[in-house]
Amino acid sequence: MHPFTGDSQVVELVGTLRFEEFEGGFWALELDAAIDGLVERVELSGYEPDAGIVDGMRLRVRARTQPDAIGFRMAGPQVDVIDASPA
């Protein structure tokens, strides 16, 4: 099953952290590898980076998918970050 349909699950993602200015700003992760070939980036829902983590930094993120979430930012599927560290 595709991780962004059905039940929520924990996924590990690696990519480049981006701050998007749209609608007051939010964090997204441009993925190194697409999940099932369908996703190139995800929105890090409610994510606030720790000190020293900045836009453009490579990041490894463990997150829970939100398959039923609907967003208006059109930045990709939303995930809830469990933990994140430099990659």
Task: Give the CATH number for residue 43.
Answer: 2.40.50
What is the predicted pLDDT for the residue at 9? 86
The answer as to whether 2 is a domain residue is no
Residue 56 covered by a domain: yes
pLDDT of residue 37: 57
Q: Please, are residues 10 and 62 in contact by the beta-carbon 8 Å criterion? A: yes
Please check whether residue 78 lies inside any domain of the structure: yes
Q: Rounded to two decimals, what is the model's pTM?
A: 0.84
**3 located within any domain:** no
Q: Which residues of the chain carry a pLDDT beneath 70?
A: 1-6, 36-38, 72-73
- With b for 16 or more beta-carbon neighbours within 10 A and e for fewer, the 15-47 pattern comes to bbbbeeeeeeebbbbebeeebeeebebbbbbeb
User: Rounded to the nearest 5°, which phi and psi values hold at 74?
Assistant: 55, 45
C-alpha angle with apex 20: 18 to 26, nearest 5 degrees?
A: 95
> Number of folded domains in the chain?
1
